[in-house]
Structures are given as C-alpha cells and as structure tokens.
Amino acid sequence: MPVAEGKSVQQTVELLTRKLEMLGAEKQGTFCVDCETYHTAASTLGSQGQAGKLMYVMHNSEYPLSCFALFENGPCLVADTNFDVLMVKLKGFFQSAKASKIETRGTRYQYCDFLVKVGTVTMGPSARGISVEVEYGPCVVASDCWSLLLEFLQSFLGSHTPGAPAVFGNRHDAVYSPADTMVQYMELFNKIRKQQQVPVAGIR
C-alpha cells in the first residue's frame, strides 16, 4: 500500500484502519512478521567469483512455533523455532547481513469471514512502508476466492487494490499454506529494501 500523498506512514495506517472500522471490522489483537537476511559466507564461495546466495529467516506471530527459511526464487523450509539456534551454529556457511532486519507489526481486524492485518514496515528505527494482508477463512484454494478477496480489498483500498500475487501463478489450484504468505512478505520486504536504496531522483 503506498503512503497517501502529503501523509506520513503512520497517518496512512490510521486512515486505513479508520476505513476498516467504519465497515464494521473489529480489532482482534496485534501481529508481527520479521525477516533477517543471511548471505553465504565468503569462505564457502569458489574462486570463480560466483555470487553468494541470500537466505531469509522469517517469523510470523500467527505461527509462533514455526520459523520459515526462504531462498529467493527457491524453496521455503518450515522448521520449528530452534532453527534460529541452528543459524548461529552455521555461521561458517551463512552470515547475518548487517542492519538487514526488517519487520511489519500492526493490528489484526476481523470482518465477517475476513481477517485483515494492517502493519507498519520498519527497518531499524524508521517506518518504510505499509503492509496489508487479507485472509478469507472459509476457503483454502486461493484461486477459488480471488474475485471475492479483490472485491473486499477494493472496499477499503480503492484504486490501490493489487493484482493477483505471483505465488498463485504456478500453483493455480493448490491448497494455500502459511509458506505462501511468507513468500509474499519476503517479496514485499525486498521491494521496500530496493526502494530505499534507489535515490528518489533516479526513479522513473
């Protein structure tokens, strides 16, 4: 969700949550998704100048006993929370990238069968963007209810309603899983990271 013109990230989040509350959505606690980036250690790379791989270790408060490890364009490993301890032991192979932690946290809302999470994405102390996650509880095959999700999103996002996520493309009729959600968060976080690296004058 882009930041509203002339508004801060926090003001835009408040606008969105007000719209949800006007629709009749009720607050249902808070949520947090965090992501730490690891890169392959220099000692493990060959002398051919091959590029290192990035691995994203993520947590989601909706799944407190799980840890998700994702490679860009690769598989998603779902492990228990002790995976973080394993990453410390693997520091000869994977090293934590400096100042790479990014997270989104905010409020959960229930509206009929929809669960909506509106969060502020932060890197370090500063707010960098806004995340909006919508889940339709009764359906487990995303393509079966995408048009319904789209209609609901339009009711409070208006013209900022997104297209179908890329994760649906190659798994059209598959049962939706928590890993699919984490892939979308990884893509969002990487998009926000890239926006921060490009000077505003360089954006066309």
pLDDT, tens digit, 9 for 90 and up, residues 63-103: 999 999 998 777 888 999 888 888 888 877 888 887 788 99
- Does residue 201 register a pLDDT over 70? no
pLDDT, tens digit, 9 for 90 and up, residues 109-128: 999 999 999 999 998 888 88
Give SS3 for 138.
coil
Cα angle 182, 87, 165 (rounded to 5 degrees) comes to 15
> What is the model's pLDDT at position 99?
74
Mean pLDDT of 187-202: 69
Report H helices in 72-164.
83-89, 142-157
pLDDT, tens digit, 9 for 90 and up, residues 134-167: 999 998 888 888 889 899 988 888 888 888 777 7
> What is the model's pLDDT at position 90?
82
Phi and psi angles of residue 6, each rounded to the nearest 5 degrees, phi first = 75, 5
pLDDT, tens digit, 9 for 90 and up, residues 9-53: 888 899 999 999 999 999 999 999 999 998 887 666 555 555 667
- Does residue 196 register a pLDDT over 80? no
> What is the model's pLDDT at position 122?
93
Contact status, residue 67 vs residue 58, Cβ threshold 8 Å:
yes
> What is the model's pLDDT at position 48?
54
> What is the model's pLDDT at position 204?
31
- Per the model's pLDDT, the better-predicted residue between 170 and 109 turns out to be 109
> What is the model's pLDDT at position 202?
35
d(CA 3, CA 120) in angstroms, rounded, equals 11
